[in-house]
Amino acid sequence: MQKLVLASNNAGKLREFGQLLAPLDFEVIPQSAFNVPEAEEPYGTFVENALAKARHCARLTGLPALADDSGLCVAALGGAPGVRSARYAPTNAGEPKSDARNSEHLLNTLVGYQDRRAHYVAVLVFVRHADDPQPIIAEGEWHGEILSAPRGEGGFGYDPLFFVPELKASVAELAAETKNAISHRGKALRLLIEKLKAA
**Positions marked catalytic:** 69
Site string for ligand IMP, 174-193 (x = CB under 6 A): ---------x-x--------
Binder of ligand IMP out of 30, 110, 120, 193 (CB under 6 A): 120
Q: How far apart are CA 22 and CA 27, in angstroms?
A: 9
**Closest approach of ligand IMP to the CB of residue 154, in Å:** 10
**Closest approach of ligand IMP to the CB of residue 46, in Å:** 8
Q: Quick one: 126 exposed, middle or buried, by C-beta within 10 A (0-12, 13-18, 19+)?
A: buried
Which residue, 185 or 187, has its beta carbon nearer to ligand IMP?
185
**Closest approach of ligand IMP to the CB of residue 25, in Å:** 25
Question: Rounded to whole angstroms, what are the CA distances from 114 to 30, 74, 111?
Answer: 41, 12, 9
Site for ligand IMP in 41-100 (CB under 6 A): 41, 69-72, 85-86
Which residue, 10 or 61, has its beta carbon nearer to ligand IMP?
10
**Closest approach of ligand IMP to the CB of residue 47, in Å:** 12
Site string for ligand IMP, 133-162 (x = CB under 6 A): ----------------------xxxxx---
Which residue, 124 or 199, has its beta carbon nearer to ligand IMP?
124
DSSP category for residue 159: G
Q: How far apart are CA 135 and CA 48, in angstroms?
A: 12
Identify the CA nearest to 14 among candidates 3, 29, 27, 25.
29
Peptide bond between residue 30 and the one before it cis (omega within 30 degrees of 0): no
Contact 158/103 with Cβ under 8 angstroms?
A: yes
DSSP helix/strand/coil, 19: helix
In this structure, which amino acid lies at residue 135? P
Contact residues for ligand IMP, defined by CB under 6 A: 10, 41, 69-72, 85-86, 102, 120, 155-159, 183, 185
